[in-house]
Structure 1
Amino acid sequence: MALALAACGGQQTADLPPLADVPTFEVVAGTGLSGHGWDGVVEAVRRADLSAQTAGRVAEMRVDVNDRVRQGDVLLRITAVEQDAGASAARAQLRATEAAAAEAEQTWRRYAALADGQYVSKLQLDQARSARDAAVAARDAARANLAQAAQQAGYTVVRAPFAGVVATRDVEPGETVVPGQPLVSVYEPRELRIEVAVPQTRADAIRRDPQATVVLPGGREVEPAEVIVFPAADSTSHSVNVRVRLPDLDPAPAPGSTAKVRFDADTEAGDGAAPLRIPVSAVAQRGELSGAYVKQGDRLLLRQLRLGARIGDQVEVISGLQAGDRVARDPVAAMQALAAQRRATEATHE
C-alpha cells in the first residue's frame, strides 16, 4: 500500500487520459459523534468460566448456549466411577484407622493402670503412648483423605454459581475431560460495564465531570449508570482506566462487542470537531493498512486512513480525509479505473 500511495502521489496532472466513470460520494462534516470518543469492549461484571476440577467423561449435558440458568442448577455431570471408588476406599481406610486408634487407646490405658503398680516399665508405657498417638494421627489422616475423596466426587456435578445466561459450551456428551479443561461459561446480562483507557491529562477533567454517553453497536446511545475513574495511571502507557457501568438494558449488548464512550468533559473542552464517517464498503484494506480512493479531477489518489470505531455499516475516520473530499464508493472499481487509465497513458506514450 505504501508503494501504491507513492505511485499515486507521483503522477503528473498533464496528459492524463479521461478517467472511467467511478461512483463517488462527498465527505460531509459533522456526521460523526460529537466530542472525543474512546473505544472499549463490553464485558460482564459477573462472569464465571467453569473448568473441570476432576478427570472423567461427560455423562450428561443439560445446558446449551443462550440458556438461562438459576443459581445451583446442574449444568453437566461427569462420570464418577473412579471418584466413588476412591471415596469408598477412603471410608474403609477410615474405619480401619478408627479401630486401630481405639485399640491403641485401650492398650495405653491398661499400661497406664499397670504402671501405677509398677507392673510395667516406663519404656513399655512410653511405647504404648507412642502407638496410641500414631494411631490417632493415622485416623485423622484417613478423615482428611475421605474429605478429599468426597470433594472429588462432588466435582463430577457442575452447578451454576449464580443466575445468568450460558455464554459458551466447550464440551459434548461422551467427551473425556481433564482438570483445568474449560467446560461452560456463565454471565449475568443485567450487569455490564466498559473500560476505556484515556490519557492522564484528561483524567482529572473526567473525574470532576463524570458524565458520559455510550454508543453501542448499531448506533444506540445510552447514559451510563456510573463512571469510575481509576486513581492511578498505568506506568507503561501513562493512561488512566475509566470504568463505565451500563444500566439494565433490553436488549442488552453482547459481552465482547465494541462500544464507544464520549465524555462530556472532552466536549466542553473543545476537543476538536466531530470525526468524519464513511461507509465501510469504501475502505480499501491492504494488510494492516486502510485507505480510500479520493478523486481529484481526472486523478484517483489512494490515501491512507486512520480509522476509529465501526458503527453499523459506517466507520469513523480519525485522519486521512477532509470534509468535501470525493471518495470512490467501490475501491475495486476505483482500482480498475486507475489501472485502465495507466494502460491508456502507456499506450499513448508508445
Structure 2
Amino acid sequence: MAETARYDALLAAGELDQARREAEAALKRDASDLAARVALARLAAFDGNEAQAESWLAGVSAEEPDVQLVRAALLTRRGDAAGALALYRKVAKARPQKAEAWFGQGYLLAEQGDNAGARTALEQAVKLSPSTAIHHFHLGRVLFAQENLKDGFHHLQESLRLNPRHGPSYLVLAVALQAGGELGAAEELLTTGIKALDGDPYLLNALCNVQLARGNLSGAVATAETLARVEPDAPAAQANLARLRLAQGRLTDALELCKKLASRGQATSQSRMVEGMALEAIEPVDIPAALTAWREAMKLDPDDWAPANNLGNLLMRIPEDELPGAGQQALEVLEEAHRRAPERPEPQLNLALVSARLGDKQRATQLAQSLLKLERLDPEWREQAERLIKALA
C-alpha cells in the first residue's frame, strides 16, 4: 500500500501525533486511502480503542499483512497471546521484512518466559528497524534475563539515545546498575530521567530508594517530598513520606500522615506499619492503638510477614496481667508470620521464643534447631538460636 513506509517510520519514531495528522489529511484527499486507514487503526489500537480500530479496518482485506498486524495487537490487548502470536508468525513468514511482526513475537515470547525465542525475534526486529527505541528496550530486558549484562546495557542505552523520554528504559537500566553495585550511576541516571520526564513519579520513587540504599536520608526525604507533591492523592507516595518521616525521628509528623490516609479510607499496609511503629515509640505508648495498626497492616497485605512478626513482638512484650492471653495471641500471629515467610529467620526465632515462654520446650527446640539449618544464616540469628537451645537444654 502506498505511503505505508512513511507511516511505519513515524510510528516507529514515536511521532504518533504527526502520523495521525498525516493519515487524517490523506483520508480527506482520498477516502479510499487504505494505508491511511490502517495507520489510524494502528493508532486506535495503541490508544486501546478497539471499536475505533475495527471501524477503520472495515472493508479492508483481512489477508492484508498490515491489517493482520493491527489485529494481532488487538488480540494481545485482549489477552489472547496464542492468537496474536500465530498472526505475528504468519505475517513474518509472508513478509519477513516487517520488523513489527518480529517485535510482536519477541514481546509475547518474553511474556511467556521463552527468553531464547524472544531474543531471536527481537534481534531480527532490531536488525530490520535499528532506529526503533522500543525494540532495543525489550531486547535489553531479555538479555538481562539471560544474564547477558554487557549487551543488555548496550541496547537499553541505545533505547534511551533514540527516545530520551522513555521512562521504563530509565527504570530497568537503573535496576541493572543497582544490581551491579553502581548506585551512584543509578542515581545520576534517574536524576536525568526525572528532568527529561518532568518529575515522573515512577522515577522519583526509584530515586528515593536508591538514595536510601546509598545512606542519603536527607536526599531521599527531599525526593519523597517531591513525589508527595506530584501525587498528592496517591496513598503509596504519602505512605512512603510517612516512612521517611519516621526514619528522621519525626514521629508526630509520620503519625499525622498515616492518620490522614486512614481518614480518607486510603490506608496501606506500609502506612499502618509506620503508624504502629510511631505509636510504640511516642510516649506515653498507646498499646491498644498500636495493636490495631499492626492488625490492620496484616489485613491490608495478606502476604507480607513483617506486620504479623511485629505484632507478635509487641504482644510478647505485654505482661499477661495487662493483657490476658497476650502470649497465646503472640503465638498465633507469629505462626501466621512464619507461614507467610518460612525462609525468614525472624518469625521462626520469635515463634521459638514464644513457644518456650508458653512452656512448649520441645517445639521451641525444634524451631531453633531448624533455624540453624538455614543456608546463609546471619551470625546474629545463629547466636540467638544457639543460646535458646542451650537454655532449653
Q: Provide TM-score, normalisation by structure 2.
A: 0.21
Whose Rg is larger?
1
Name the structure, 1 or 2, with higher relative contact order (CA <8 Å, separation 6+). 1
Please state which structure has a larger fraction of its residues in strand: 1
Please state which structure has a larger fraction of its residues in helix: 2
Q: Provide TM-score, normalisation by structure 1.
A: 0.23
